[in-house]
Chain A
Amino acid sequence: MYDSQTARKIAEKRALDSTDQEIIVKAIDDGTETVWDRFADQQPQCGFGQLGICCNRCTMGPCRIEPFGKKPTRGVCGATADLIVARNMLDDLSTGAAAHSDHGREVLEVLLDTAEGRSQGYQIQDEEKLLRVASEYGINTDGREKEAIAGDLARAMLEEYGTLKNQIQLVERAPQKTKEAWKKAGIVPRSVDREIVEAMHRVHMGVGADYANILVHAMRTSLSDGWGGSMMATEGSDILFGTPVPCTTLANLGTLSKDKVNVVLHGHNPILSEMIVKAAEDPALVKRAEEKGAKGINLVGMCCTGNELSMRHGIPMAGSLLDQELAIATGAVEVMVIDYQCIFPSITHTASCYHTKVVTTSEKSKVQGALYKEFRPETGLDTAKEIIALAIENFPSRNPDRVRIPATPVRMMAGFSEEAIKTALGGSYKPLINAIVAGEVKGVVGVVGCNNPKVKQDYGHVTLAKELIKRDILVVETGCAAIASGKAGLLVPEAADLAGEGLKAVCKALGIPPALHMGSCVDCSRILVLAAHVADELGVGIGDLPLGGAAPEWYSQKAVSIATYFVASGVYTVLGIPPKIFGSQNVLDLLTTQLKDVVNASFAVEPDPVKAADLLEAEIERKREALGI
């Protein structure tokens, strides 16, 4: 279709990373459709939708508001632009909160099954954390078997989804001052499911016409995710699979192997993938792979399932959202196992251009053209072995003439859970606080979120992370943002050389990278816990701390929820892609300015990562000044 020079130029526009560029060129040569082609086909995209002033909820509509100040100024029902924008945002946010929280529920169900002896291959890996979290729930731990405690904890956490207590227990982890702000604003989350169900109620026609009141509920719903569903996903996974500790692994598409059976583990929930890690070590299967001419079995991670596995097992990281098709386009993937979230619905179409088999594992997330191997806790390991066997059987179908694997994977460190960061600091947050007070570290920014074809892949993440560390701002990362930094070589202690003098000295003293991989997108909850601990040590609220958040390349409704619970918790957050709220100046004013009076934080939108760093630095300075440091 294109000559090689043109293809090269296109690839350079699409992605920052040279290994990605190499495979983008191959995909173009192979005629394989990718997300960038579909993005181009979608241009121009509807302005009513982008501005959030399209309402397609009922059959009096669909309606749209004229954005230039003429008629129609109201939908058929009478909704204004403000109301339509607010309802749409609440809808998006609730979808994201539901995705995180439902993921958490499944982890807790496996924890319960394991506690009651019904699961296959699982065991409680972190007893210390089990006891710690159980005591938060007031569960008696004295002299009891860990399974009995885990059973009680899993049940207590599963009850949070519909609890009648009127408050999620883990909200107690927030600093006093933060909780008081929430109480005053009426946004203490009452249960996980309740907020989401109520959100669905509130977006129905005729349930409230006050955009601000709807956005207040959006904040409460986001808190039920951050301090509820997501936090329980993180805690449940840590108890079941172990709390991550720093480990070194490799990143980018070069982690795929030329001579081993390649299995890509893609999605978000680690429950089945943990069993696949076990199954891949099965001597019989390794032998079978060798009989088929392979030199072994190579597991690589993708997106947040990849993050979960890299931080607990050092499984190499093939890439992020926009790498899923590229991994297949290497021609070297025998099986891509998917659980759910962020899997392109066209993934089987992409796979059909090569020998790759796509395996779906969740009853919730079936894809036409994929093989379906249902995951059930009681047969988890058997299913995992079946999937590995399928990959081995598919190895001889690989066509070496159509394989291209980039040469050099990049080293990265993962596994900086909140507990691991504390350990790296010597068991207390004092050294970090001292460094912040002394100004060696000006503050901390969580760079999180997805990829989006509207931005050159990883450009926003990597430029922002580099810009922040240069200004002595410690970066903590999750999701695709963490993977971007991994691919760019920022997640190794040597990257401290790119940091400002103050941060560099702190990193060198502790032997840590200037950007810390804190996990998957549900692990943004780890950032909240870290912030809460630091705030508690200082006796302030999270909103008083010199913190920031950024989602330079976000696309997903989950990111709407994360950004909102960051802001609601007191963390100023800069978005690199405009959310669908620009159709309402009132909503813009509320979210970018007026919220500061409620939670001492707000949203900002700034695509340019250097300018975003300016905004974050200014906010950090504002908070440092207020703290008198």
Chain B
Amino acid sequence: MRTVFVKPELCIGCRHCEVACAVEHAQSRNLYDAIHEEKVSQPRIHVETRLNYLTFPNRCRHCDPAPCMQVCPTEALYQDTDTDSVVVDYERCIGCAVCAMACPFGIITFQSVHQLSTEREVNAKCDNCIERQQDGKIPACVEACKTGALEFGDANDLVRTSRKDFTLRMLASEGDTEIRTIPRNIRAFRAIMEEIASMS
């Protein structure tokens, strides 16, 4: 099972992923033209913050079974088994938003898409960059992420890395093991921002 793994501690809220997503799903697939298209493509990944200025890139998990797919009355949602992706057939989507109600992650948003000739808004959720994947590329959001907050790969492989980090931390008493930690200056910055957040 391939997936996009999120490491929120590495997200610094730059929103490169949002821009890359919007460009990837624009008709032109080009930043300079995308912003002038008739139906301006909106990101399908959402970097959001709450009270402490920490950020989280929230993206479709491509569940299986997918609650959105199960509740869709027009069977507009379907599974692409090659890429383990839950995808929307825009023609079939009636914009009833039942999928959005069922989604446990709140990532389904509606917009006009260039694939349709009308203005009607349809479920334009993350399609896991199926076309990129078919060309052997990784999803646009992951490619755009400079900090590794988004990683694409086999779920078990990605989990194994995290598990290894944890194991090393448990056994780090030798003192000579290099474990990736958050640098001192970044921890200092986050502590200050958290303090500012707690003041209001």
Binding site for B on A (CB under 8 A): 13-14, 43-51, 64, 66-70, 72, 454-456, 459-460, 576-578, 582-585, 588, 605-608
A residues within 8 A CB of B200?
Answer: 13-14, 455-456, 459
A14 CA to B192 CA, complexed, in Å: 19
* Interchain CB contact under 8 A, A48 and B14: yes
A583 CA to B180 CA, complexed, in Å: 17
* Interchain CB contact under 8 A, B196 and A67: no
A interface: dominant SS: loop
Chain B 168-200 near chain A by CB (<8 Å), digits 1 or 0: 000000000000101111101100110110011
A residues within 8 A CB of B188?
Answer: 582, 588
B residues within 8 A CB of A51?
Answer: 12, 186, 189
* Interchain CB contact under 8 A, A68 and B147: yes
Beyond A48-B146, A459-B200, A607-B199, 18 additional contacts (C-beta under 8 Å) are: A44-B47, A44-B49, A46-B15, A47-B12, A47-B14, A51-B12, A455-B200, A456-B199, A460-B199, A576-B196, A577-B196, A578-B193, A582-B185, A582-B188, A582-B192, A585-B183, A585-B184, A607-B196
- Among residues of B, the one whose C-beta sits closest to the C-beta of A51 is B189
Closest-CB distance, A45 to chain B (whole angstroms): 6
Query: B75 at interface (Cβ–Cβ under 8 A)?
Result: no
Query: B55 at interface (Cβ–Cβ under 8 A)?
Result: yes
* Interchain CB contact under 8 A, B147 and A66: yes
* Interchain CB contact under 8 A, B195 and A607: yes
Query: B95 at interface (Cβ–Cβ under 8 A)?
Result: no
Binding site for A on B (CB under 8 A): 10-15, 47-49, 53, 55, 146-148, 180, 182-186, 188-189, 192-193, 195-196, 199-200
Query: What are 11 contact pairs spanning A and B, CB under 8 A?
Result: A44-B47, A47-B12, A67-B183, A68-B147, A454-B196, A456-B199, A456-B200, A577-B196, A585-B184, A588-B188, A607-B195
* Interchain CB contact under 8 A, B148 and A459: no
- Among residues of A, the one whose C-beta sits closest to the C-beta of B183 is A69
Do A68 and B183 contact each other (CB < 8 Å), given the known contacts A44-B53, A577-B196, A608-B199? yes
B residues within 8 A CB of A583?
Answer: 185
* Interchain CB contact under 8 A, A68 and B14: no
A13 CA to B11 CA, complexed, in Å: 27
* Interchain CB contact under 8 A, A585 and B185: yes
Which of A44, A48, A576, A585 gathers the greatest number of chain B CB atoms within 10 Å?
A44
Closest-CB distance, B112 to chain A (whole angstroms): 22
Closest-CB distance, A580 to chain B (whole angstroms): 10
B residues within 8 A CB of A69?
Answer: 180, 183
- Among residues of A, the one whose C-beta sits closest to the C-beta of B57 is A44
A residues within 8 A CB of B183?
Answer: 67-69, 585
The contact of A45 among B13, B184, B199, by CB within 8 Å, is: B13
B residues within 8 A CB of A585?
Answer: 183-185
A69 CA to B185 CA, complexed, in Å: 11
A48 CA to B185 CA, complexed, in Å: 13
A residues within 8 A CB of B15?
Answer: 44, 46
The contact of A578 among B47, B146, B180, B189, by CB within 8 Å, is: B189
* Interchain CB contact under 8 A, B148 and A70: yes
* Interchain CB contact under 8 A, A46 and B185: no
* Interchain CB contact under 8 A, B192 and A68: no
Closest-CB distance, B97 to chain A (whole angstroms): 23
Which of A45, A459, A576 gathers the greatest number of chain B CB atoms within 10 Å?
A45
A residues within 8 A CB of B12?
Answer: 46-48, 50-51, 67
Closest-CB distance, A473 to chain B (whole angstroms): 22
A46 CA to B144 CA, complexed, in Å: 14
- Among residues of B, the one whose C-beta sits closest to the C-beta of A47 is B12
A residues within 8 A CB of B53?
Answer: 43-44
A401 CA to B19 CA, complexed, in Å: 45
A156 CA to B52 CA, complexed, in Å: 52
Closest-CB distance, A95 to chain B (whole angstroms): 22
Per CB-CB distance, the 9 closest pairs between chain A and chain B, nearest first, are A47-B12, A44-B13, A582-B189, A44-B49, A585-B185, A46-B14, A44-B55, A607-B196, A456-B200
- Among residues of B, the one whose C-beta sits closest to the C-beta of A460 is B199
- Among residues of B, the one whose C-beta sits closest to the C-beta of A48 is B14
- Among residues of B, the one whose C-beta sits closest to the C-beta of A81 is B185
Closest-CB distance, B194 to chain A (whole angstroms): 9
B residues within 8 A CB of A459?
Answer: 199-200
B residues within 8 A CB of A66?
Answer: 146-148
A570 CA to B168 CA, complexed, in Å: 46
A69 CA to B12 CA, complexed, in Å: 14
A578 CA to B193 CA, complexed, in Å: 8
The contact of B196 among A45, A46, A68, A455, by CB within 8 Å, is: A455
A583 CA to B14 CA, complexed, in Å: 14
Closest-CB distance, B9 to chain A (whole angstroms): 9
